[in-house]
Amino acid sequence: MNPINQFVQIVLVETSHPGNIGSVARAMKNMGLSNLALINPKKFPDPEATALAGNAGDVLDGARIFNSIDEAVKNSKVIFATSARERTIEWPVATARDAAQEINQLAAEGLEVSILFGREDRGLTNEELQLSNKHLIIPADPDYPVLNIAMSTQVVCYELYQASQKEPIGPWQDFPEYTSEELTHLIEHFNETVYNLKLVDPNNPKQILTRMERMFRRLYPDQMEGNFLRGFFKEINNQIK
Q: Distance between CA 143 and CA 156 in Å, rounded?
A: 21
Phi, psi of 31 (to 5 degrees): -110, 20
Exposed/middle/buried for residue 122 (C-beta within 10 Å: 0-12, 13-18, 19+): exposed
Question: What CATH superfamily classification does 3-164 receive?
Answer: SPOUT methyltransferase, trefoil knot domain (3.40.1280.10)
As beta bridge partners, residue 66 has 39
Q: Distance between CA 133 and CA 190 in Å, rounded?
A: 17
pLDDT higher than threshold 70 for residue 170: no
- Count CB atoms within 10 A of the CB of residue 41: 20
pLDDT in tens, 173-207: 788 889 999 999 999 999 999 999 999 988 887 78
More confident residue, 33 or 85: 33
pLDDT in tens, 112-164: 999 999 999 999 999 999 999 999 999 999 899 889 999 999 999 999 999 99
The answer as to CATH 3.40.50.2000 being correct for domain 180-239 is: no
Phi, psi of 222 (to 5 degrees): -95, 180
What does the domain layout of the chain look like in residue ranges?
3-164, 180-239
